[in-house]
Structure 1
Amino acid sequence: MAEDQNRTYDSQYLLRLPSGMRDRIKAAAAGNNRSMNAEIVATLEEKYPSPQKDLELSTLASWLDYVETGGPDEEFDDRLFEINDRLGKHQATKHLRLSLLVNGESEDMTANVILMRRHPEDDGR
């Protein structure tokens, strides 16, 4: 509940809730150890993040570069996991992941890091 007390609010909105929703919000708030207001605001923040929380394309490009050239090849999987974890934490990119695309065989083999849509069956990485 301390987070609710530390915020500055400049707007109020009277909200009519469907039957039973108030009780569900109250239970969720208690489970998260915060006020109902803080629970509602947290839920709205998750659905409607402020624009500065969205990632810019230049950030994604720098992350891709980090995965491709950020250190020894034996750390590649760790770097890929780290960036996919970061992508999953942002509202704007939680549906994306970096993956390795391998083409060809033996000496003709090429590998590229690509940005692709995360599928529901993915383990999140």
Structure 2
Amino acid sequence: MAEKQVKDYEKFVVRFPDGMRDAIAERAKNNGRSMNSEIVKILADAVHLDSQPDAWLEKLMRYIDEKDPSNADDRELLAHAISEALREVVRRIGKENERLIAISDAQFKFQKKPT
């Protein structure tokens, strides 16, 4: 089967905020990919993580297991990843707390005896 030609792929123009293009270029270089491949990888990961609610936590745990935070860059990346994970956990707890309060309020309404 012949591989698709570049002209046959769907295209989408993206406008980056200042500095983002350089950051993506650096990340792509560090990962041995083109900018296009890096952007596609980032988007695929985001779509995958959204479809599997706890995949981000598994990814973080793999990252922690694989990384030896022996240098400042690795320690900074690990600290950032853990901080983001904690923010996500707090957000989810808050959302679940709101749902539980709504359930409790509903239960209270239905348990009230008519006067």
- TM-score interval (norm. to shorter): 0.3 to 0.5
Which TM-score applies when normalising by structure 2?
A: 0.38
- Between Structure 1 and Structure 2, which shows a larger proportion of helix residues? 2
Which TM-score applies when normalising by structure 1?
A: 0.36
Larger Rg: 2
- Between Structure 1 and Structure 2, which shows a larger proportion of strand residues? 1
Higher RCO structure (Cα 8 Å, ≥6 apart): 1
